[in-house]
Amino acid sequence: MLSAEGVPLRRRYYSESSGSDLDDDEMIRGYEVDKEKYVTITDEELEKLAPEKSRDIDLRRFVDQESIPPIYFERGYFLTPAGETEKAYRLLARTMDDSGRVGIGTFVMRAKEYLVAIFSENEILRLQTLRFPDEVRSASDVGLPKKKKVDKSAVARFEKLITKHSQTKLPTTELEDEETAKVLKFVKSKQSRGKDVIETEEGESDQGNVVDIMEVLKRNLRH
């Protein structure tokens, strides 16, 4: 977002009562325990509760891939071996490929512990962060009506329609972001014509630390 003068805008916190902007030392954290009722927590208290920093992935058990509902999947990352762990990496990936099992474990990133599932596809390990049960909404949460009986003849017609338009694999063309492509094409067109191009002053870089998700694959699995 830019101002009308082409200056990049920045989000800030302000007090609704005074209307004034707040500095970091004027803000505290609070956990809402009831409507408009909070328990305050300091940064020091949160640091004491934070999980111990580690670059290991703690594998706890293996489950069938089909047993994990897709709704629990969040973000995916490729895992690579580090140092002298390539042999262990390949052994684990090959075994998981053959068994069709998925590893369940935890790892810590940016002072937060994540529940993860580790998949093996063609002997390449992929990590998928998982949502916790309290982060997943149920059908009743969104107010869906109760199930109604459907006419069998209507079901048969839809089955024929689905079969007619079915394919064994998802076409990669279906994964293209057409809307973003149109916007990007339009932006480049305006840039090439020198229209509505604004140059801003270079500000301070706000790049966070890049975290290597898996530097060491944990060798000892919990029994």
Go through the domains of the chain in sequence order and give each one's CATH number.
Answer: 56-137+211-217 (2.40.290.10)
Residues of the chain with pLDDT under 70: 51, 53-55, 200-223
Could you tell me the pTM of the whole model? Answer: 0.58
Q: What is the pLDDT of residue 53?
A: 65
Residue 12 pLDDT: 85
* pLDDT of amino acid 204: 52
Q: What are phi and psi of 221, to 5 degrees?
A: -85, 145
pLDDT the model gives residue 63: 92
The one-letter code for the residue type at 39 is: V
pLDDT score recorded for residue 73:
93
pLDDT at 84: 79
Q: How far apart are CA 108 and CA 114, in angstroms?
A: 6
- The predicted pLDDT at position 176 comes to 81
**Is residue 75 a contact partner of residue 129, using CB atoms and an 8 Å limit?**
yes
Distance CA 36, CA 53 (A): 34
- Position 109 scores a pLDDT of 76
